[in-house]
Amino acid sequence: MKGLWGRALWVDLSRREVRVWDYPVDYALDYVGGRGLAARVLWDFMPAGADPLGPENILVFAAGPLTGLAVNSGKIVVAAKSPLTGGYGDGNIGSHFAIGLRKSGFDALIVSGRARKPSYIYVENGETHILSAEALWGSNAVECERRIKEVHGRSVGVACIGPAGERLVRYAVVISQAGRAGGRPGIGAVMGSKNLKAVAAIGDMDIPVADPGEVRRLYVDSVRDVKGKDGYGFWVRQGTMATIEWSQAASVLPAYNFREGVFEGYRMIDGYSMEAAKVDLRSCPVCAMPCGNVVLDSKGLEAELDYENVAMLGSNLGIAHLGHVARINRVADEMGLDTISLGAVISFAMEATERKLLKEGIEWGDHKAAESLALDIAYRRGALGELLAEGVMRASEKLGGDSGDWAMHVKGLEISAYDCHAAPAMALAYGTSPIGAHHKDAWIIAWEVKTGRFEYSEAKVDKLIELQRIRGGIFETLVACRFPWVELGFNLEWYPKIFKAATGRPITLEEYYEIADRIYTLIRALWIREQGTWNPQMDTPPARWFKKPLTKGPIAGSKLDPEKYHWMLQKYYQKRGWDERGIPRKSTLRKLKLEYTIPELEKHTTLTE
């Protein structure tokens, strides 16, 4: 299939072996690329029950057929078995590395084994080198990228880890361009476990496409279309930061460890405060609508802000000062810590302190203590740093008491920044996301708030699946940024056109949805293989949203209804062709061309016909 090279670079770090793998054409036809390719590689090549931090885990950097070719397509999926959740984990990072890899003649970089000494992988126009990173080990992610560029040139694309990844903090991320982060479920720790400090690539090969003239024309037209959208001007002013104001108005802004959905100090950290402080606007490569808003932190260093970062490190910690929030954000970027999980573990510690479960803890709103705790976590320093480096789920298991009720995670992945006391469909989105509680697969909350937030309905389940197909299926396999479609209303029908021009393969959105369903069910099969079991509780958000109502704001008194939530979850399973435990039926596996998973799944559980 054109648009893809059909080749992945496979680096075995234990053997220091580099090989070019012509992956089967069915992978491209049935899974497209990005997340689809990664999930299939993990199913086929990672031994069942692999230690996520052992050499047997497989780390995949996977681009897709539109990476580097379509509007906003400077992105790449980073995936592996997650050390945080024990299941499938991935993230999507904007990086020149994505373009460098594609222009070097590869769709993906697959890394197995473990290097004996700190190393980095450097790819230049198809030539691959495993180089020593001993001098880079210990450097922060911003510094590391700068130093690699000093050696290989400014244009080289770099994705690397900071000290948190080196120390196997379970929610360490991969960082690029000093403010892009990907792989929330600990993909940075997987890199660290392989002694892999960074990957870098540069190339100038032409990506093979079916109709180069049409690809170019569609690119120019789609950029013009995006830039002509009504919301364009406001988007480049505020980007995702506009969501702070919206979330406050909708009572979904996480405050005090998701106890409340409104925050009294929100004005101090909203999009307008950010605009007043903004010093730069950055972007991923090949982007027509930049959203990397840069401000100076309280130490005068640059920090790139996004809604999730500011909500989780601001309102959720009770911090109402943008410079202080930016400071913790900058520390997270340098250390290579996921801001969402970092915000969640610190707020968990603040609540545990208030409830006297922690003796030497941390108080709400204490930004200085939060900054130094972030460093302690990254370096696994002290008892609290060590405890929180394990993530909220494990920390709560250690602390005991009723902390499981307010340990805000699903499947071990900390919840991103939308409170769901009065948003059952968003709660279900978190419950059923294929990587744990992340909004990337179904940000249904804006639609839900507009169309009847208190209802539990089949229509919500249908909408959720539709969003999962588009966001988690289409965008994560193309691989391209979803923001033109989500934020500016760029028509989804552009993508089949660009796909055809690039690959030569006509595709309808309905056909693409089937591919998306295949990938979802494969990922579910992978989870079951790795966990050895499944039950609906594993797809259920924490008790806080069901037991303790909101006490502030216009919808005070709201909480989720557990029975109705489980009614929606069962509807969801039925529509996906999974049984009442959440395990894919045999008939579904056959229908989706996943019959190859049946013998392995039957080793762990009885499959329903």
* Interaction site with ligand SF4 (CB under 6 A): 72, 94, 283-284, 287, 289-292, 481, 483
Q: What is the DSSP string of 512-525?
A: HHHHHHHHHHHHHH
Question: Of 118-126, 196-204, 477-485, 529-537, which segment contacts ligand PTT by CB under 6 A?
Answer: 477-485
| Distance of closest approach, residue 102 Cβ to ligand SF4, in angstroms | 15
| Distance of closest approach, residue 588 Cβ to ligand PTT, in angstroms | 26
Q: Are strands 59-62 and 88-94 parallel, antiparallel or unpaired?
A: unpaired
Q: Does position 92 bind ligand PTT by CB under 6 A?
A: yes
Task: State which residue, 11 or 498, has the beta carbon closest to ligand SF4.
Answer: 498
Q: Which of 85, 100, 9 is nearest to 52 (CA)?
A: 85
Q: Which of 280, 291, 295 is nearest to 226 (CA)?
A: 291
What letters, b where the CB count within 10 A reaches 16 and e where it falls short, cover 45-80? ebeeebebbebbbbbbbbbbbbbbbbbbbbbbbbbb
| Distance of closest approach, residue 240 Cβ to ligand PTT, in angstroms | 4
Q: Does position 338 bind ligand PTT by CB under 6 A?
A: yes
Q: Does position 105 bind ligand PTT by CB under 6 A?
A: no
Residue of the chain from 168, 226, 332, 445 that contacts ligand PTT (CB under 6 A): 332
| Distance of closest approach, residue 92 Cβ to ligand SF4, in angstroms | 9
How far apart CA 172 and CA 183 sit, in angstroms, is 8
| Distance of closest approach, residue 181 Cβ to ligand PTT, in angstroms | 3
Q: Does position 473 bind ligand PTT by CB under 6 A?
A: no
Partner touching 290 among ligand PTT, ligand SF4, none, CB below 5 to 8 Å by kind = ligand SF4
How far apart CA 589 and CA 595 sit, in angstroms, is 5
Q: Does position 306 bind ligand PTT by CB under 6 A?
A: yes
Residue of the chain from 112, 251, 257, 339 that contacts ligand PTT (CB under 6 A): 339
Q: Does position 81 bind ligand PTT by CB under 6 A?
A: no
Q: Does position 173 bind ligand PTT by CB under 6 A?
A: yes
Binding mask 505-544 toward ligand PTT (x if CB under 6 A, else -) reads ----------------------------------------
Q: Calculate the CA 239 to chain-centre distance.
A: 18
Q: Does position 87 bind ligand PTT by CB under 6 A?
A: no
Q: Does position 579 bind ligand PTT by CB under 6 A?
A: no
| Distance of closest approach, residue 94 Cβ to ligand SF4, in angstroms | 4
> What beta strand segments (E) does 161-214 contain?
174-176, 180-182, 196-202
Which residues, at least 6 apart from 52, have a Cβ–Cβ distance to it below 8 Å? Answer: 80, 81, 82, 83, 86, 186, 189, 190, 193
Q: Which of 263, 214, 94 is nearest to 501 (CA)?
A: 214
Tracing tokens 């595709």 back to the chain, one arrives at 507
Q: Does position 240 bind ligand PTT by CB under 6 A?
A: yes
Q: Does position 124 bind ligand PTT by CB under 6 A?
A: no
Q: Which of 204, 137, 143, 141 is nearest to 174 (CA)?
A: 141
Count the Cβ atoms, other than its own, within 10 Å of residue 155: 11
Tokens representing residue 579 in the block: 């049984």
| Distance of closest approach, residue 326 Cβ to ligand PTT, in angstroms | 10
- How many residues belong to the site for ligand PTT (CB under 6 A)? 31
Binding positions for ligand PTT, rule: CB under 6 A: 75, 91-94, 173, 179-184, 240, 284, 304, 306-309, 332-333, 337-340, 440, 475-476, 481-483
